Amino acid sequence: MKFLQTLLIFSLFSNSVSEAQNPKTQDAKNKKIKVAPPKKDPALAKYYINRKTSPRAKTTTPVETTLPLQLKKGTRIALIGNLLLDAERRYGHLETLLHQHHPNHQLTIRNLAWPADEIDLMPRPDNFGDLDQHLTYFKADVIIAAYGYNESFAGEEGLPAFKKRLDKFLTHLKSQAYNGNSAPRIILLSPHLAPDGYFHSPEKELAFIASQKKLIIRYASVMKSEALKHQVAYVNLIQNAPKKATALPQTITIDGHALNLDGHAEFANSTFKALFQKDPTAINEELRSLVIDKATQFFYRYRPLNTFYYTGARNKSYGYLDFLPAMRNFDLMVGNRDKAIHTTASTGKTTKPDDSNLPKMDDVLLSRGANKFLSVTDELKAFKVDPRFEVNCFASEEDFPEMACPIQMRWDNRGRLWVSTSVTYPHVYPGQKPCDKIIILEDTDQDGKADKCTTWAADLHIPLSFVLDGNGGVYCSEEPHLTHLTDRDGDGKMDHRQILFTGFGCEDSHHALHDFTWTPGGDLLFRESIFHNSQIETAYGPIRAKNSSWFLYHPSNKKLTAFGAYPNTNPWGVTFDPWGNHVASHPVFASTFHATNLTYPAQHPRANGMQAYSGVCGQDFVSHDFWPKEMQGGFVKARYKPTNKIEFHTWTEEDDHFSEKFQFDLIFSTNLSFIPVDLNFGPRGACYVCDWYNPVKGHAQYSLRDPRRDRKAGRIWRIIPKGAKLTEAPEINGASMTELLDLLKSPHYRTRYRAKLELRARSKGSQSLTSPDNLLAALNSWTPKQSNPLHLLEALWLYQALDSPNLELLENLIKCDDHLVAASAFGPLRFVDAPPAFTSKLLAFGASHPSQHVRREASLCASYIGEKDALEAITPVLEQPADTHLAYAIRSSFNSEKLKVHWLPDTQEKLAALAKPSIETKTKLTREQKQFDRQKNLATVKIGTIPERLLFTKDKFTVKAGQPVKLVFANPDATDHNLLILAKDTPIQEIGEKANLMAADPKAARKHYIPNDKRILHATKMLKVGQSETLRFKAPSSPGTYPFLCTFPGHWTIMKGEMIVE
């Protein structure tokens, strides 16, 4: 569940033929190309909007804004604020009305809004231009601003601060000459109020929503008074509520807050009427289409993907030529659409945009080689397969062109394999449209090879991950959106896309929303990775995350929960073990990281001392009995670095977690263009591997526009034990309710997963408890007949998914003899609307339980409840021993935003007493080492790694000739690293390329990827996260430059430095 893109900036390439044919084939990716770099046109620099260097407006005398608003010809209008105006770029009603009623004014309108923005809290990508700089670049004359909604979640106590914040904001905004001559006129929009009746939530949540609406009115009142004081215009959207407010709220909102198409049209009408004090005319839909097209092109310019490579820290090598020609052309395209809008508005005749003035995009830097392309047959030959297994190609681009660039796979309840593909990745450039797909593969004759391919959805935007909803639809990642795709007319093709939430980070297009899966309890789980700044506006308040987080989405009440935000890399891969433990890659035992988040923007601690890897793309547990006995209970894992292979790991219980241990490779590819990005067991027990086959991979080593990026290939491989007779796939699609419930007793995780998906889909059927189609009635009848704790745990999860908690079953399982089942039962307790006394009793029981697994889950559960009683109930956990995982869970939970406000006087002291993981690898010094360290002229050098950046903390250090040197190298990064010091003036490339060749050797890791070369003077071992090693040596006697580097294959191209000997 994963993605080629997970590979970060790793630089490995495949050999062009199998190892058996040519074991010394040079890896082309890391060979420098000796070609002249393209020139950087200095005229492009003006298109670079960034916080460090872009100009700001001068101050000027404010002007009064009155209504009705009078607009001059050529007026430039900027929309700023939160989701209310951010949605305008997708719907276009308000801008269309402005053009229709000013057909000859040639208005220019730009949307700078951002979901969940507040007046002084606007998280942006690294070095991204701020609001002032963008308003200056645009030369805004009029500003329409929507604020107040997200601020209102600060509560009653936040009102005085909000008044001061708004005063400061308006004082600044109204005094800036953004257009270069005069101050802007400003219109402040109040929040809107969604009608009551949408939510189907526990009573506690309904009470919260009701109280929040009262707060919104209070905050709007402050906005009105401040607008009057500052002489800016104010539009009261609460007073001017949409006409449909008395109708069912589903008709105007998506989730009880965000306006849908009809709701936004009503908002635009009422806003227009307030601005100009006259009724709007009917919308010209062809004009609106042009407005949306223009807004879309501007969105690609204003909020592009991969901003970490545009304005951020990774823009050094390719950023100038990757982005600035595109920004120039996007500006031209937006201008061309302005002209088409003006002509259409003035003449009444639709005019198409003319983009014939776009210059050719400047050439990009091609600094590295690209690997040769292998056919499916030749790639299969390059696999070194464990002799107990056989591999065949299930589907490829040679069979189905639609298979180009596959990312994720999901099996449906009819035995069909759904696959998301992306040829748009990694970026959308001028003149391009997202054209990605979800296809369905079928093996109709059950011969292990797909023979039918159907396109279910088209024109998607980099669908990094997706899940089936059980009703024929799909939840999908389309950065920056979480979308719900449906087939309303039942013709087998998607025909409706609904954006559920927007505002997720896009700083790196392969770090965006991924790892979509359903939890055992029926929530949609997904995550994002490092570099990202996400802020999502919801009916329950803004959700913000910085540098990665996990999320849970509960479909019935549309609630989004953020949790587990900690400094990680870009890990992919998610599944659950039989007890419902969350299994990932970074960290491996992800259940430990389930505490809700700290107060934004703080994060939980790093995963020091715990298994956590960034080089894998997924795993799935072995349970079918035709697989070898020694594999039962373990899992198969896809790895993409430093070597590309499919592994088997055991899964072993420890005192406070489960751990994995590598056993053997099923597939070891000597062709490093094999990029396993997803792995699933199919309905009959075969293992399927999704292969993003591409000769160019990664962001940092290559231009995003590198023309050698393949957009045609993609394979899915099928692995089975030799001679195996596959099991018959269980009938799910046509099974009865009782038959589906019995499938919850299956030993196969994927069978249980798909059965629950079908059951949850059917739960929307008959509501009569006497009907055979009523799931709750069937579950109530089925559950008492079960005695196996694991089967009862499945029932508990299904009750959770149905929003019908079974408190008796919950308590019985928490108090059962099986400590792993007891631990897992705390998961549903996180979301139960139960009496506080009941919840506290169970938390206190868990906090004093002899099992660290139970204590861990009780501690985490309290962070979701977030009440003072919950903190007091779990406080006894601080009095008992805690190993690394339990200690981490306790700290994370106690420091979560909801619990920290309830700390007791001694809480901090007790938390500090928990064992603290250290990055240092503790070793006892030898006598010789102690003597070395006592030398008076000793030079001590400390070098670390910058997590996720593939950089040393130092790129240069200086020592004297002959001086004793103590070099301490520590690795806090999730990726393994070493440090080698080379002889004077040794070309780093020569050593690096030797290390790259070692990637094709399964035994190379034991040698720490250190080549056999006499020019290597000193070297550490390959260090894992949290490890350190000290090198002690005498500096060379000859002054000069001595390179150092990391030889993890591919890292040397970036991860390098110099020791200067004087």
In this predicted structure, what is the pLDDT of residue 520? 98
Same fold? 49-347, 927-1061: no
The per-residue pLDDT of the chain, averaged, comes to: 92
Tens digits of residue pLDDT in 649-702? 999 999 999 999 999 999 999 888 999 999 999 999 999 999 999 988 777 778
Q: What is the pLDDT of residues 60-69, one digit of tens each?
A: 999 999 999 9
pLDDT in tens, 690-748: 999 998 877 777 889 999 999 999 999 999 999 999 999 999 999 999 999 999 999 99
Report how far residue 437's alpha carbon sits from residue 424's, in angstroms, rounded to the nearest whole number: 10
pLDDT at 23 over 60: no
Fold that domain 757-913 belongs to in CATH: Leucine-rich Repeat Variant (1.25.10)
Q: How confident is the model at residue 919 (pLDDT cuts 50, 70, 90)?
A: very low
* pLDDT category of residue 886 using cuts at 50, 70 and 90: very high
Instruction: Report the percent of the chain where pLDDT is more than 90.
Output: 82
CB-side neighbour CA atoms (13 Å) of 222: 22
Region 433-462: mean pLDDT is: 98
For residue 19, what pLDDT is reported? 33
The model's pLDDT over 248-284, given as tens digits with 9 standing for 90+, comes to: 556 899 998 999 999 999 999 999 999 999 999 999 9
Q: Which of 722-726, 843-847, 914-918, 1030-1034 has the lowest mean pLDDT?
A: 914-918
Across the strands, what pairs with 809? none
* Closest-CA residue to 580 (of 846, 790, 882): 790
- Mean pLDDT of all residues in 205-210: 79
Give 921 or 301, the one with higher predicted confidence.
301
Distance CA 870, CA 882 (A): 20
Look at residue 918 and tell me whether its pLDDT is greater than 50: no
Between 826 and 613, residue with greater pLDDT: 826
Task: Of 725-729, 868-872, 918-922, give the lowest mean pLDDT range.
Answer: 918-922
- In CATH, 927-1061 is 2.60.40.420: yes
pLDDT at residue number 13: 31
Main-chain dihedrals φ then ψ at residue 899, nearest 5 degrees? -85, -30
CATH of region 49-347: 3.40.50.1110
The per-residue pLDDT for 661 is 95
What is the pLDDT averaged over residues 955-984? 94
Please, which pLDDT band fits residue 597 given cuts at 50, 70 and 90? very high
Q: What is the pLDDT of residues 384-413, one digit of tens each?
A: 999 999 999 999 999 999 999 999 999 999
pLDDT of residue 917: 43
Structure tokens that stand for 423 in this block: 């040829």
Instruction: Outline where DSSP puts E strands in 63-208.
Output: 76-81, 108-111, 142-146, 176-177, 185-189
Note the pLDDT of residue 512. 96
3-state secondary structure of 946: strand
Domain range list for the chain: 4-25+369-571+613-721, 49-347, 757-913, 927-1061
Strand partners, 576: 582
Question: What is residue 10's predicted lDDT score, i.e. its pLDDT?
Answer: 31
Torsion sign (Cα): 17, 20, 21, 25: positive
Query: Among 642-646, 730-734, 794-798, which is the least confidently predicted range?
Result: 642-646
**Quick one: pLDDT at residue 396?**
99
**Alpha-helical segments (H) within 877-965:** 884-894, 897-900, 907-913, 927-933
Write the secondary structure of 740-784 as one string of H (helix), E (strand) and C (coil). HHHHHHCCCHHHHHHHHHHHHHHCCCCCCCCCCCCHHHHHHHHHH
pLDDT digits (tens, 9 = 90+) for 134-167: 999 999 999 999 999 999 999 999 999 999 999 9
- Supply the pLDDT for residue 335: 99
Q: Do 890 and 882 meet the contact criterion of CB atoms below 8 Å apart?
A: yes
Quick check: 644 and 676 in contact, CB under 8 A? Answer: yes
Alpha-carbon span 144 to 713, nearest angstrom: 47
Which listed CATH number (2.120.10, 1.20.1090, 2.60.40, 1.10.3470) goes with 4-25+369-571+613-721?
2.120.10
In the predicted structure, residue 244 carries a pLDDT above the cut 90: no
Whether residue 878 has pLDDT greater than 70 = yes
